[in-house]
Amino acid sequence: MPLLSTLLFGRPLSQRGEDNAAEVAALGRSLDRLLRGVLDLLGRETGESTEAFAQARMEWERVLASEYDYAGIAARRAALLFALHTLEPVRAHFAKREPALVADLEARVLPAAMPSFLSGMAQRPEALVVMCSTLTSMWKEDMGERGGRTCSEPLAS
């Protein structure tokens, strides 16, 4: 299984091969296996006979049935980000290999990015992926999660 950083944000351009379609398909298959595991975990945690799980399964199956193209990979990545945001066992699994990334996603990135994604009814998965990629790779500043000054606090002179 590829690293979480690769699953979410792709391989560095310098490491990509010539057969992009084959690499995207391999990424899609890896994400599918992972998301099926998350769906299985969710069924065990909520009970597979519940109406809520049936609805979740239907929505996740739609994601899993999508093509291995830009939109389909973005939807799979957004589903993985949602699983990381909501399910501690998923975070624990990936923290074994990339603890700093998982800690940053949990404490800083997902609490900032996920609410607007969900309030928009999850209609822009590619925007969520790009936002999370930007925040984890280029925007390392404290965003108030450590009890620092927030934008609503006046500046002391």
pLDDT band at 147 (very low <50, low <70, confident <90, very high): low
**pLDDT for the residue numbered 148:** 52
Give the whole-angstrom CA distance, residue 111 versus residue 1: 26
- pTM confidence score: 0.85
The predicted-structure confidence for 6-22, as pLDDT tens digits, reads as follows 999 987 666 667 778 88
For 19-67, what is each residue's pLDDT tens digit? 788 899 999 999 999 999 999 999 999 899 999 999 999 999 999 999 9
Per-residue 3-state assignment (H helix, E strand, C coil) for 73-94: HHHHHHHHHHHHHHCHHHHHHH
Residue ranges per domain, the chain? 4-137
Residue 154: the pLDDT is: 52
* Token representation of residue 39: 């769906």
